[in-house]
Amino acid sequence: MMRTVYFKVIFFFFLLIIDQSLAADEDGFFYNDFKAAFLTRDGAARIADNGLLRLTDLSDKYQTGHAFYASPLKLKKGSVSFSTTFVFAIASELGANKLSGQGMAFVIAPQRALPGALPNQYLGLFNDTSNGQSSNNVLAVEIDTVYNIEFDTIQGPHVGIDVNSLKSVNSTDPAYHVNGESKQINVNSGEPVQVWIEYDGIDKALTVTLAPVNTLKPDIPLLTLSRDLSTIFLDDMYVGFSASTQTVLTYHYILGWSFKIDGAANALNLSSLPKLPTESSSSQDTKPNLAADSDQGFTYNDFKSAYITRDGAARVAENGLLRLTDVRDKYETGHVFYSGPLKLKGNVSFSTTFVFQLHLSWAPIN
């Protein structure tokens, strides 16, 4: 009896979960953070505890990271229009406006992945063989911080519209128009920048507009392309982001994202976007961790992205298990500390709970 009840309850929750996924509107979505976003991710892409989407991090060179909205969208049929806006930030290990590597792209692709795509100048979009093939059925808007002689015409950071190829069909310096003037945008300043991409399915025109965050959307777009996108798309398309790095370790972040078919994408609430990690937390640890979002406390259900410093034999396993000592050697010590200082002096109360397990050397774990 009990068993049946259990099954029913579990089944009921299962249905609820499925139902919520489907509740993601087929005509669009609105993510002011990515905590509960309906996304598929691969490569280096992670979602931090505060809801920040991080496509690449500083843990390694030559990364790619992808995140796609998990449901297909019908972008080919009829004279469908769409509009999207998102906020990104690119932060290099070398600091604001220094060399960074490499760049990122908003991408519309026939799969929720870009298999076989390369890092470096390939932006996680294509490889040597696939680049330029019309069978890619890919539209991308790249924000590339590095000039590549093979693909680029702009000698420096640039924004480009890509159709199946890294050789952009239109590209320009990152800038925005305000009061009749064109102002430069430093896309790798580590500061958030907002992007609007709009496609008019009747006029067959795509526009791309950038502005520093908290700046009104400029009336004049940065880039335009007159092209019938239905000739590029398949029936089911997926929207998402791709980023890649090379030798300069670089974070590529997306703070919020809104998308709408046949209408204007809902405006993001810029004041409540997830916060980027601060300079001070990144100087304390060469791989600053986003899970550190408060000096009031923290919860780590695993240690995959915990904000900790380690020494001695201490390691974090792939699955997020924290191991203080192992069976490799005798007389080990291992330490782990939460990387942020806490104010415990005065009449402060605190509480903590953790789960531990001892394994003896004759019962090794991996």
Q: Which of 84-92, 173-181, 217-225, 323-331 is the region at the interface with ligand NAG (rule: CB under 6 A)?
A: 217-225
* Nearest distance, CB of residue 159 and ligand NAG, angstroms: 10
* Nearest distance, CB of residue 231 and ligand NAG, angstroms: 16
Write the DSSP assignment of 296-365 as a string of letters.
T----SSSTT--EEEEET-EE-TTS-EES--SS-SS--EEEEESS-----SS-------------TTS--
Is the CB of 274 or the CB of 288 nearer to ligand NAG?
A: 274
Per rule CB under 6 A, is residue 347 in the interface with ligand NAG? yes
Is the CB of 33 or the CB of 57 nearer to ligand NAG?
A: 33
- Residue 344's CB is within 10 A of a number of other CB atoms, namely 8
Q: Do the Cβ atoms of 92 and 101 come closer than 8 Å?
A: yes
Residue nearest to ligand NAG (CB): 116
Per rule CB under 6 A, is residue 223 in the interface with ligand NAG? yes
Per rule CB under 6 A, is residue 59 in the interface with ligand NAG? no
* Nearest distance, CB of residue 339 and ligand NAG, angstroms: 25
Residues 264-303 interacting with ligand NAG (rule: CB under 6 A): 269, 271-272
Is the CB of 67 or the CB of 322 nearer to ligand NAG?
A: 67
* Nearest distance, CB of residue 128 and ligand NAG, angstroms: 7
Beta bridge partners of 217: none
- Residue 51's CB is within 10 A of a number of other CB atoms, namely 21
Measure CA of the first residue to CA of the last residue in the chain; give whole Å. 39
* Nearest distance, CB of residue 162 and ligand NAG, angstroms: 13
Number of residues that bind ligand NAG (CB under 6 A): 15
- 120, 130, 209, 242: which one contacts ligand NAG (CB under 6 A)? 130
Per rule CB under 6 A, is residue 40 in the interface with ligand NAG? no
Per rule CB under 6 A, is residue 225 in the interface with ligand NAG? yes
* Nearest distance, CB of residue 9 and ligand NAG, angstroms: 34
**Residue type, position 242, single letter:** S
Give the Cα separation of 16 and 10 in Å (integer): 10
Beta bridge partners of 64: 244
* Nearest distance, CB of residue 117 and ligand NAG, angstroms: 6
Per rule CB under 6 A, is residue 127 in the interface with ligand NAG? yes
Pairing mode, strands 205-212 and 193-200: antiparallel
Q: Which of 8-16, 91-99, 218-226, 325-333 is the region at the interface with ligand NAG (rule: CB under 6 A)?
A: 218-226
Give the Cα separation of 341 and 5 in Å (integer): 47
Is the CB of 341 or the CB of 346 nearer to ligand NAG?
A: 346
H or E element, residue 205: strand 205-212
Residues 142-171 interacting with ligand NAG (rule: CB under 6 A): 170
Is the CB of 100 or the CB of 131 nearer to ligand NAG?
A: 131
Is the CB of 39 or the CB of 161 nearer to ligand NAG?
A: 161
122-131 as b/e, with b when 16 or more CB fall inside 10 Å? bbbbbeeebb
CB < 8 Å & 24+ apart, contacts of 273-277? 273/32, 273/33, 273/87, 273/192, 273/213, 274/33, 274/34, 274/48, 274/50, 274/51, 274/52, 275/50, 275/52, 276/52, 276/89, 276/91, 276/190, 276/192
Residues 105-124 interacting with ligand NAG (rule: CB under 6 A): 115-116
Q: DSSP label at 147? A: -
Is the CB of 251 or the CB of 257 nearer to ligand NAG?
A: 257
Which residue ranges make up the site for ligand NAG (CB under 6 A)?
Answer: 115-116, 127, 129-130, 170, 221, 223-225, 269, 271-272, 346-347
